[in-house]
Amino acid sequence: MINDKSKLYKKSRGKKQYELIEVLTRIQETCRTPKTPPLPCDPASFDNSTCKGPSEVLQPEAIINFRRPVPILPLYFSAPEGGEVAPSVYNNGCFSLNTVSFSSVLALDLEFSQKWWFQSLFRSALATTISLSPGEQLRISIETSQRKYFERTSLDEVEENDSSESQIVDRDVINITRSSARIKNWNVSGGGSISIPIKKAELGLNLSGSISESLEKNSSSSTEKVRDSTQKSSEALRSLQRVEVKETIETSEVNGRSRLLRNPYRDRSLDLKVYALAKKFCVEFSLEKIRPSLIFEINDMPFTRKFVQSNASFLEKYLQDSRLLFELHEALESLVDFENRTAFEDIEKISKIALHYLFEEPNIFNVKELAGFDANDPASSFDANLPGNGLNDATNNKLGLIFTTLNFYYAIYKKETPLDNKLYLTLALSLESALRPLWFGVEETEKSNNVLDSSDFTETFRRLGGFLTLVGGSVRPLLHPAEEDRDTLERARHAEFVIDRVISHLKCHRLFYIGKYLEYISKLADGVTFSRMIEELMEDIDEPNELKNNWEEIFSTEDAFISGNQIIIPGYCAYDEATTRKFLKEYEGTRNIRFGLLSKTHVYSPTDGTHIEPVCGDCILSEIPPLEESAPIKVSILHNQDFLFSDIDSTD
């Protein structure tokens, strides 16, 4: 029956577990039904000697059942190599469990009963007294009325805040430079000689000419036009709508009993003492039977956003915070719209991507190392201790303003990460607005190329053009349409806030909601989900296959029930006293459990009805006049019972 593998298993940590299953299996074969319940308390007659009670009591008036598990052995789960306990994961699509979330134990489930046996009816406290004069006749009417009062109050408050801001900056710069030069040079030279001897003298002639003209014109014009426009608008709508609905429904049910009382004595008074009635019970507390049981105790559950979305019906039925439940209805409706991507989400995501590739992506251009340092890392651009650092290179090439601005934004991005999505968008837009005219306005010269080459740590300049193009070409065109989606986005964010509060509430009272959720899923799909959950939990217990087959013979998964945050799988067989002693002797040999009647006590409980006791007066009158007829006097004794039902739904 037991192979070598099972024998090896006995030597491991599951030895006691193995022995326990063997004992349960042997007892299962000789299991007997529990004995008949003990005889009830002896019935007693009524206190009033003239009225006899029933001769015997056939059955108790009430039976209240109790149970208490007695743990015997913790159960282990499948372990990986190395002997450490591996997490056993259960996942049904709505929630998951692991070995940290729950514990399991094999126990004896003790089933107790509290039986209330009726003993007698007797008078209790004095309710009222009535005095009758000699010969007086009095009709007493005892009436019982019931009044129901229903009141409902609801408060609805709506608050809306709408804020929008836009900024427009237009910058036009026109530079015109004109230059012209004109130069004219003329030169005429001539020479001639005529000799005419006149006496002893000679006559000579020499001609020379030169013309020069120079013209230079310079013209310079510069025009700059700047238009800066900022528009802000804010709207706030606060609507407080108080709706109070009060309904009063009064239902009067009158049960009246009339009694005609007459004082038979004409010479003395008669006092009537009205007593309330009470019942006397003999209460027995007994241990009826014991069953072997598997108990899975759920100590924690992953209350997440997915859980809240998937179990709206459960929360609507069991969520204890009425204000939170009211907000949850609207939050879940807003989440439906939130699942569809909005333009505002798109621009926030693009802004985050742009900043990531500008300041964080480790390698884009695959530049070679410089002085043993990685020049592809954007952080190297902002390290002024490195040779050929970005700060020196930028200032040498008259790009210091651009570099220092980038360094400032880099520090914010690295130290404040992770940022809110709104901050990603704000950083990207402000950086693009400031650096676009400075960077794209620079003429591509030798100086601008110096910061783009791979000879220095200037990776941030190599990425700047792509960043400005992505933000300016993708984010800004979507910015205006995103304003239309702002309301949807704000509602979705408020819904996230409400769901976070619901999750915190569930975690604060997790044991209560775990128990209620187990009850909830046990009724879904005709119990199929609950049955599958039990099967998966049992399959993951670390047992040899032949022992797991015995488990199916011992424990009834069809009869599994829930008690608080526990799942109890009872055994088929209910042990009587002899079977229990046999089990304890074979397994431990020390424990002993007492069956049958454990305690007996008497309890007095008020009941309906009254007891009237007449008492004759001590003073006897003399010289009684003849009897004369008198008019009857009607006295009504009313016992009012008011019931107040209040259903208050406040969202204040």
Helix (H), strand (E), coil (C) string for 315-377: HHHHCCCHHHHHHHHHHHHHHHHHHCCCHHHHHHHHHHHHHHHHHCCCCCCCCCCECCECCCC
Closest CA to 605 of 247, 144, 281: 281
For residue 460, the one-letter residue type is: T
- Clarify whether residues 349 and 466 are in a common domain: yes
Structural domain includes residue 146: no
Give yes or no: residues 479 and 533 share one domain: no
Q: Which residues of the chain have pLDDT under 50?
A: 1-13, 32-55, 79-86, 88-89, 154-160, 236-245, 337-340, 639-652
Instruction: Name every residue whose Cβ is closer than 8 Å to that of residue 481 and which is 6 or more positions away in sequence.
Output: 343
End-to-end alpha-carbon separation of the chain, Å? 69
For residue 89, being part of any structural domain is answered with yes
Mapping DSSP to helix (H, G, I), strand (E, B) and coil, where does residue 265 land? coil
Q: Which domain holds residue 583?
A: 4-37+52-109+522-594
Q: What is the DSSP letter of 494?
A: H
363 and 468 co-located in one domain: yes
Q: Are residues 373 and 468 in the same domain?
A: yes
Query: Do residues 447 and 532 share a domain?
Result: no
Alpha-carbon dihedral 493, 423, 431, 167, rounded to 10 degrees:
50
Both structure tokens of 649: 């739904």
Bridge partners of residue 232, in order along the sequence: 165
User: What pLDDT sits at residue 648?
Assistant: 37
φ/ψ of 343, rounded to 5, equals -65, -35
Is 336 part of any domain? no
Contact 212, 184 (CB under 8 A): yes
Q: Same domain, yes or no, for 99 and 181?
A: no
Residues 177 and 101 in one domain: no
Domain count, the chain: 3
Q: How far apart are CA 63 and CA 286, in angstroms?
A: 11
Select from 121, 14, 207 the least CA-distant residue to 607.
121
| pLDDT score for 382 | 92
pTM of the model: 0.48
Is there a domain that residue 355 lies in? Answer: yes
70/166 same-domain check: no
Structural domain includes residue 540 = yes
CA gap 563, 172 in Å, rounded? 78
Q: Which of 192, 207, 233 is the last residue of a domain?
A: 233
* 221-224: long-range contacts, CB 8 A cutoff, minimum separation 24: 221/174, 221/175, 221/176, 221/177, 221/178, 222/174, 222/175, 222/176, 223/172, 223/173, 223/174, 223/175, 223/176, 224/171, 224/172, 224/173, 224/174
CA distance 277 to 255: 18
In terms of domains, do 477 and 357 share one? yes
532 & 471 share domain: no
327 in any annotated domain: no
Domain assignment present for residue 180? The answer is yes
Burial grade of 364 (CB within 10 A; 0-12, 13-18, 19 or more): middle
Q: Are residues 397 and 469 in the same domain?
A: yes
What angle, 0 to 180 degrees and rounded to 10, lies between the N-to-C axes of helices 510-522 and 486-508?
100
Omega before 34 within 30 of 0, i.e. cis: no
In a domain, 353, yes or no: yes
At residue 344, the pLDDT reads 65
Domain identity same for 480 and 537: no
Nearest CA-CA partner of 359 in 427, 424, 409: 409
CA 213 from chain centre, in angstroms, equals 94
Question: Among residues 574, 594, 614, which one ends one of the domains?
Answer: 594
Only one residue has tokens 């989606």, namely 485
Domain limit, last residue, from 543, 570, 594: 594
> Taking Cα atoms as reference points, which of 631, 597, 617, 647 lies closest to residue 287?
597
pLDDT, residue 476, reads 82
Question: In a 10 Å sphere around its CB, with 0-12 CB exposed, 13-18 middle and 19+ buried, how is residue 59 labelled?
Answer: exposed
What's the CA gap between 13 and 76, in Å, rounded? 9
Query: What is the bridge-based pairing of β-strands 205-245 and 137-192?
Result: antiparallel
Residue 608 structure tokens: 């309906």
